[in-house]
Amino acid sequence: MQEPKIWRPANSSSETAIPIGLLAGALAIQAAVLLAMGQPPICTCGAVKLWHGLASSPETSQHLTDWYTFSHVIHGVVFYWLLGWAVPRASPLQRFVLALALEVGWEVLENTPFIIERYRQSALAQGYVGDSVVNSLFDTLAMAAGYLLAWALPARTTIVIVVVMELGVLYAIRDNLMLNIVQLISPSEILSRWQSGR
């Protein structure tokens, strides 16, 4: 028997509104916490760009999207698969709530002084000061998009998309989700030199 899906055509507008309302509520909580932590609402440069493509710039993680947005799409895919394995009896909606909680939790943790300082040990993030609130919110939206992608597409297709994103970002900026995790857990000077082109 096929599992019901979160975004199937709903029988009522209230059914459709549940995941949208959950997402809006999570984003509101996330924004409030980040603002209370002192993160700027938008880039301190005073602009809000749809895309910022220079990875080593201090404006990275300050605008709506950048190269690291792809990592958050992959978060959504991983959460979909991981939660399907970890809590198979939970409904799709319950697993979506858990994915939102994981992503919002990470976005808050990512903007703590400890994690910011860990990121700064990487060559590409030496000027990193954390995310602007709008960037962080768009990261969570990217996770939701990745979750939806994994829900809607066959697993093999999703795997191909994830690999293409990881290799594409690696080629473009010498970084990706996997290298980001490695540098966060155990910063490597050799890897940092390679990322900076030295």
Query: Does residue 6 surpass a pLDDT of 50?
Result: no
* pLDDT tens, residue by residue, 98-131: 999 999 999 999 999 999 998 888 767 777 899 9
* pLDDT tens, residue by residue, 56-103: 888 999 999 999 999 999 999 999 999 999 999 998 889 999 999 999
pTM value is: 0.91
Which one-letter DSSP state was computed for residue 52?
E
pLDDT band at 14 (very low <50, low <70, confident <90, very high): low
Give the model's pLDDT for residue 4: 43
The upper half-sphere exposure of residue 182, i.e. CA atoms within 13 Å in the direction of its Cβ, equals 11
Question: Using an 8 Å Cβ cutoff, are 164 and 157 in contact?
Answer: no
pLDDT band at 44 (very low <50, low <70, confident <90, very high): very high
Give the model's pLDDT for residue 198: 64
Instruction: Return the closest-CA partner of residue 34 out of 121, 129, 99, 149.
Output: 129
User: Domains of the chain: which residue ranges?
Assistant: 13-195
A 10 A CB-CB count for 169 gives: 23
The CA distance from 139 to 180, in Å, is 15
* pLDDT tens, residue by residue, 134-176: 999 999 999 999 999 999 999 999 999 999 999 999 999 999 9
pLDDT band at 189 (very low <50, low <70, confident <90, very high): confident
The CA distance from 103 to 76, in Å, is 8
